[in-house]
Chain A
């Protein structure tokens, strides 16, 4: 299986800060990488697919980059509603075996 490792596991930041979350794959996954936001008790939400494509309706302060084994999710100016847990997920495996990172919890400083 392709293992996904996120860093950091948790992060404290303030409204207005720029933050970056990293996701590393255990092998080359090209750009087959998605990012999700999850708030407690809510449905997870797709933010970015194919490493850098913004899902419709997602604010432009979210951006994704990377290829191969190293990927980043950036939030340019944190808003109060952005405090949540973020997950990366690879879709490179064939036959399909989708795996997620362990999550990064973004908390208010």
Chain B
């Protein structure tokens, strides 16, 4: 049974860097995209970005200047770094696996078929 588990500090000071790790157990990371998604308190879900093919990335344009997602050296982990955080970055952060099926004519249908339980990160001094 494949599982994802987020880990990292629950409290980060303003202007510092938020770092989280997602550990994937029960399957290989090959052939999937690996995303970070967040949910600020009382707000909706926001896709942050993903890593695939061992290192290629795609990011939400609103965060691209501050975000970095990478695969860990152990090959069963991937990580999120978000620099220069403010209170607006306070959120539950989820890691998720991205899969897809061919549409036959356009880009594949992409969906998040497995999620972690989430990690609350609070930005406060």
Contacts and interface: CB of A to CB of B under 8 A. Distances in A.
A100 B40 CA distance: 13
A55 B44 CA distance: 22
Contact of B113 (A50, A55, A99, A103): A55
A96 B44 contact: no
Contact of A100 (B44, B117, B118): B44
A44 interface: yes
Interface residues of B, number: 26
A95 B103 CA distance: 16
Contacts, number: 70
Contacts of A94: 107
B45 A87 contact: yes
Contacts of B16: none
B101 A49 contact: yes
A49 B44 contact: no
B57 to A, nearest CB: 11
Interface in A30-61: 30-32, 34, 36, 41-46, 49-50, 53, 55
Interface of A: 30-32, 34, 36, 41-46, 49-50, 53, 55, 87, 89, 91-92, 94-103
